[in-house]
Structure 1
Amino acid sequence: MNYLEAKTYLESLAPTLSRPTLDRMRRFIEAYLSEEADIPCIHIGGTNGKGSTVAIADSILRSRGYKVGRFTGPHLLRWNERFHVDGKAITDEDFARIATKLRDLSEKFGKENKDVGELTWFEFLTAMAFMHFAESKVDVAVVEVGLGGRFDATTARTNPFVTVITNVSLDHTHLLGDTVEKIAFEKAGIIEPGISVVTACQDAALDEVLRVAREKMSPVYALANNDQIVLYINGKREASSPASPLLSLLKENLSLLGNHQIQNGLLALLAVAKFLIVDKDVKVQMSGSISEIALGKTPPAPQELVDAIYKCDLETLSAGLKNVRWPGRLQYLKNKDILLDGAHNPAGAQALRAFLDQKYPGFRPLFVISSFETKDVRQLLSSLVHKGERVFVAEAKGRRSSHSKEFLLHCLMLMGAEGKSFPSIAAAVDAARAGKERDEFIVISGSFAAIKETLQHFGYTYVEDSYLSNVQA
């Protein structure tokens, strides 16, 4: 297959959630990818901030001299964006070659394992990541969970150094459950026996994470009020340390915008610190799985994680934080007075609104929004839009159905906002640019599909070309 044929093939695959199981992926790995899937990794799940935490951890590790593989989703413009090695996306040639090889293996596997069949869409992508990273001989991979965790294909791999669960809030409730506790149970499915967990979960979500971690004898490092690092062993609080030294480092250097990114940065720093400590243990011990080594050791105190970061060369570490790029998340569009943010659930909308209120007092956002019908758009809009503000709505293109323009307009009317519908995201963006008032600035949000169509409308093929910086043009 060439690149275009590989894309078409991927788009033809069954959605993973049509057949949720880890059995198929584990059997496929055992048959064909046992060595490839054994790459040491930092495994990152949660409701919001997964991708940002991956991007930050990736940049920090590369600044430390590690060769890093990065697997994330969704992509904005090209499938290649999901697979990075040393900060560079996979080439079209490698993408097509690996996809062709895996297609043949998946078809063979499906014939030999008719009870589970061929790899589904996200399983195939995960297998591509494992193969690409193995061929590239990375030192460590930073891997984002696709959806949930318990049945996610990334959980079928076997060699995590540390697990991160960023946070838990209501999203994908039609798949993961309609309460925070149920969703936290699914997210905690990525926890491995003996492997440390780093999390910013609070209240009921933290209780569920601690329960699952206790069953698996996994220590938990939890952020309390974002300024304390608390270590739990067997569900009990054992030690704590101030996070202030790491917070200062992040506030001075992290390139990503928004106070919520400081929390993501803190999780990334703690995960990297744990990796650095465990990496030394593995090199000394040189035998046994990461899980076996971890189960036999007392977890480091929170202060040891802070110290591990400050033992690094702070100049290169600071450069790693300054060089983080994560397009589509509070991103100013190059050469355009437009802010892009893929907030697609109420918690993401709250974070976006907090940034707007802090950054632009006295100004009004002019929103261009599209939202998929599986999202709680009423709560999303109420978290994001204030009375009297203007919102241009459209139905985004894609495999999933969007909320209708009529429904979005009805929600906005009930809120006292001024809504107007357009036939496409492109038309809405053009109207916003032409009709923007002096005290307004344009914000594209509600879904990554809206971000994608905006980038395409302005002629971008590669998302990297659209990236201005964290400073408004």
Structure 2
Amino acid sequence: MSSRASQEIERLLGLHPKGFDLSLGRITRLLDTLGNPHLNLPPVIHVAGTNGKGSATAFSRALLEAAGYTVHVHTSPHLVRWHERYRLGAPGKGKIVNDDTLFEAVRRVADANAGQQITVFEILTAVTFVLFAEHPADAVILEVGLGGRFDATNVIPEPAVSVIMPISLDHQSYLGDRVELIAAEKAGIIKAGCPVIIGAQEHDAARTVLIETAERRDCPYSVYGQDFLSFEERGRMVYQDNVGLMDLPLPNLPGRHQLANAAAAIQAVRTAGFTIPDHAVETAMGTVEWPARMQRLTKGNLVDMAVPGSEIWLDGGHNPGAGMVIAEAIATLEDRSQRPLFLITGMINTKDPVGYFEAFTGMARHVYTVPIRSSDAGIPHEELALAAQEAGLSAEPVYSVENALKILRDSWDKSEPAPRILIGGSLYLAGDVLSENGTPPQ
């Protein structure tokens, strides 16, 4: 079902070049024509990083909403509908923008641009600022699209806090092929004198660049592992910072990496000046949700096609760093029945498929590789199967997720425990799966 807003965005995609054009000149010009809505926002939590920025955004939203604040949230990309990029603050819980409101905003921004050269991502970012400036809320959580320094969101002059999550190699063609070059791009969201939160970094080189940038710009900063941290103890999460300790339930998002993501969010919202009582932090750990990030699918069209009793997980992580944390999350799922693991994977051609698959060596019994329907940049599924084999996995190309689930069901030995199935490798694939399953983000 196509909506008016979606049709208008598709029309713009036909007019303007696809992709990213890394500079801020055009978005600044457009915002000026619109009356600079980005200067009339509630306090902004600006989030960058290669992995974990979506989770940090989700935790920050859960924390603020649990404490009674209204929160606007910008994320990208979307999974099923363009509307998901814009969640408007409302008492209790924010809501994804409705179609009429989005259509009017997109039309206004496109009219203001008056056919000048621009990318659609820049138009959609201007739409973010128009929507968030015109609807009252207590806070804005703004997720960076790509990189940081030249990302269209980086026109915010004084964020309440800049958050930089784990950095690893991704988008090398845009951002550079060494982790410190990528860190320097992400550090572009650090503004003079504005507080900075540095999330858990696997690479010392990245951490060093971020700290040096914060010091050079005279920013107060907090570093994960130094100024705040979190760990699991007796099935609980312990959060610790300079204020003290908090004993919390484990987050609703599975995987040990989510403890560090939650810690960065707690530190960020407090640093941004919001009062979050301990009971609200507890509530947030249980209510946080983030579609397609270790999301368990329990009902829907595709679930019905699987081996009865299967455990099906969906994750859009798509680079070697994400592969490692997903593999670790799966390894720690408590399970006495020893379910065998199968992967159904599709990826786009800017990624490192062998690096992603290597994380699952010795864990996955078999990989089904699939094409991605919603992207023309998908790696051909035959080629992807060869990449999985190169990583040491047993793999075969099939035509679709549905096809893979049926093959598995028809050949299943009923004396075995039902399988654990991880569908992943791409946010495009994850979006297709949620759409086909009949369970889009709400």
Matched residue type, 1:91: N
Q: Whole-Å Cα distance in 2 between the matches of residues 452 and 434 of structure 1?
A: 26
The 3 A distance-change label for structure 1 pair 417 and 227 is same
What are the superposed Cα offsets for residues 116-175 of structure 1, whole Å, 9 maximum, x if unpaired? x2x311111111111111221122100000000010000012231000001111111121
Q: Which residue in 2 is equivalent to 1:258?
A: 255
Q: Whole-Å Cα distance in 2 between the matches of residues 458 and 366 of structure 1?
A: 19
Q: Whole-Å Cα distance in 2 between the matches of residues 90 and 431 of structure 1?
A: 39
Cα offset, 1:401, TM superposition: 1.5
Deviates more, 1:130-139 or 1:355-364: 355-364
Structure 2 unaligned spans of 5+ = 231-239, 304-310
Cα offset, 1:411, TM superposition: 2.4
Cα offset, 1:360, TM superposition: 5.0
Q: Whole-Å Cα distance in 1 between the matches of residues 408 and 85 of structure 2?
A: 31
Matched residue type, 2:359: S
Q: Which residue in 1 is equivalent to 2:13?
A: 11
Alignment coverage as a number of residue pairs: 409
Q: Which residue in 1 is equivalent to 2:168?
A: 169
1:31 to 9, 21, 33: 33
Q: Whole-Å Cα distance in 1 between the matches of residues 40 and 216 of structure 2?
A: 24
Q: Which residue in 2 is equivalent to 1:206?
A: 207
2:97 is the counterpart of 1:90: yes
Report the TM-score, using the length of structure 1 for normalisation: 0.81
Q: Whole-Å Cα distance in 1 between the matches of residues 324 and 412 of structure 2?
A: 23
2:333 is the counterpart of 1:330: no
2:392 is the counterpart of 1:392: no
Instruction: Indicate the SS of the match to 1:167.
Output: coil
Q: Which residue in 1 is equivalent to 2:236?
A: none
Q: Whole-Å Cα distance in 2 between the matches of residues 222 and 359 of structure 1?
A: 29
What are the superposed Cα offsets for residues 167-211 of structure 1, whole Å, 9 maximum, x if unpaired? 111111121111111100111011111011101235100111122
2:428 is the counterpart of 1:454: no
Q: Whole-Å Cα distance in 2 between the matches of residues 434 and 245 of structure 1?
A: 51
Q: Whole-Å Cα distance in 2 between the matches of residues 159 and 227 of structure 1?
A: 23
Q: Whole-Å Cα distance in 1 between the matches of residues 227 and 396 of structure 2?
A: 39
Instruction: Indicate the SS of the match to 2:343.
Output: strand
What are the superposed Cα offsets for residues 73-125 of structure 1, whole Å, 9 maximum, x if unpaired? 111111111100232100011111111111111116x2xxxxxx2x3111111
2:156 is the counterpart of 1:182: no
Instruction: Indicate the SS of the match to 1:174.
Output: helix
Q: Which residue in 2 is equivalent to 1:153?
A: 152
Q: Which residue in 1 is equivalent to 2:245?
A: 245
Q: Is the 8 A contact 1:36 1:134 kept in 2?
A: yes
Matched residue type, 1:366: F
Q: Which residue in 2 is equivalent to 1:347?
A: 321
Q: Is the 8 A contact 1:432 1:442 kept in 2?
A: no
Q: Is the 8 A contact 1:76 1:452 kept in 2?
A: yes
Q: Which residue in 1 is equivalent to 2:389?
A: 413
Bigger proportion of residues as helix: 1
Structure 1 unaligned spans of 5+ = 111-116, 230-239, 278-307, 465-473
Q: Please report the RMSD computed on the Cα atoms of aligned residues, expressed in angstroms.
A: 2.4
Instruction: Indicate the SS of the match to 1:389.
Output: strand
User: Equivalent pairs: percent with the same residue?
Assistant: 30
Q: Whole-Å Cα distance in 1 between the matches of residues 187 and 281 of structure 2?
A: 30
Q: Is the 8 A contact 1:387 1:417 kept in 2?
A: no
2:63 to 60, 64, 69: 60
Q: Whole-Å Cα distance in 2 between the matches of residues 82 and 388 of structure 1?
A: 33
Instruction: Indicate the SS of the match to 2:356.
Output: helix
Instruction: Indicate the SS of the match to 2:224.
Output: strand
Q: Is the 8 A contact 1:426 1:457 kept in 2?
A: no
> For 1:39-438, what aligned pairs fall within 5 Å after superposition?
39=41, 40-86=43-89, 87-107=94-114, 110=116, 117=117, 119-200=118-199, 201=201, 202-224=203-225, 228=229, 241=241, 245-246=245-246, 248-249=247-248, 252=249, 254-276=251-273, 309=276, 312=277, 314-335=278-299, 336=303, 337-359=311-333, 362-386=338-362, 389-436=365-412, 438=416
Q: Is the 8 A contact 1:426 1:454 kept in 2?
A: no
Q: Whole-Å Cα distance in 2 between the matches of residues 329 and 18 of structure 1?
A: 25
Q: Whole-Å Cα distance in 2 between the matches of residues 174 and 243 of structure 1?
A: 42
Q: Is the 8 A contact 2:33 2:112 kept in 1?
A: no
